[in-house]
Amino acid sequence: QGSDLFFRSVLSNMQKVYLSRNPTAEKILDFVHSYDGDHICFDHFAFRTFGVDGYGIDSLAEFFTDFGYESREELRFPAKKLRALWFSPPNNDGYTRAGIYGPLPRIFISELLVDELSAPSQEIIRKYIKTSANGNKYAVLASTFGELTWEKPTYSDFQVLSRESEYAGWTLVNGYALNHATVSTHRLESDIRSISKFNKFVEDNGFKLNTEGGILKGQGTPQARWF
């Protein structure tokens, strides 16, 4: 259907922005593709937002629910001052292709609880939000093109936010851009379909795994994550 192709094209452009900024992830995908063939499917895509003045989860969520996604569990991360929702995709049965044009990924959208940050951090975030006009209405468009809806941040503002919250610093600089994606290793067809063998395959090809948060790690179902 036309609407499905449009939706997948949007996801594809979001992924292209992500890979252009994360060459290591692109190289890993290339190695996996050369070894396993065209069987890469995505488990989930994750986005970050500022939970203030309409720039939080809702600014992205409506796009996905309009195309058949359903809101599921709410997640809370008090230590990081985060709230998140994940969304399940519409019927994924019958897809024989891979990548963006295979089974649709789950969607995770989180928001930073800005009101719980220090006064200086709140002031910085609100300062940039004010330059965005009604940018929250075009969050998906911003993500698709990898553009900010607010003015380019200064390095000093980035540093102040990052000292308090890595999440805040990243979001100030990257806006609504895709934060990370995960590959469903159990959908691969070679011997690297298990997480342990997949990790070894990546390390054997010269990539160092980050044990804190990880370039790759299992989450519930067998899968791999890269940042």
Mean pLDDT of 216-220: 45
Q: How many domains does the chain have?
A: 1
What's the confidence (pLDDT) of residue 195? 82
Q: Phi-psi region for residue 99, left (φ > 0), alpha (ψ -120 to 50) or beta?
A: left
pLDDT per residue over 46-66, tens digit each? 999 999 999 999 999 999 999
pLDDT per residue over 155-194, tens digit each? 999 999 999 999 999 999 999 999 998 887 777 778 777 7
Residue 129 lies in a domain: no
pLDDT per residue over 115-126, tens digit each? 999 999 999 999
Residue 67 lies in a domain: yes
User: What CATH number is attached to the domain comprising 84?
Assistant: 3.10.180.50
Residue 131 lies in a domain: no
Residue 144 lies in a domain: no
Contact between 135 and 149 under an 8 Å Cβ cutoff? The reply is yes
Residue 70 lies in a domain: yes
Cβ count within 10 A of residue 158: 16
Residue 143 lies in a domain: no
Residue 103 lies in a domain: yes
| pTM attached to this predicted model | 0.88
Domain that holds residue 11: 2-115+175-226
Return the residue matching tokens 């789950």: 106
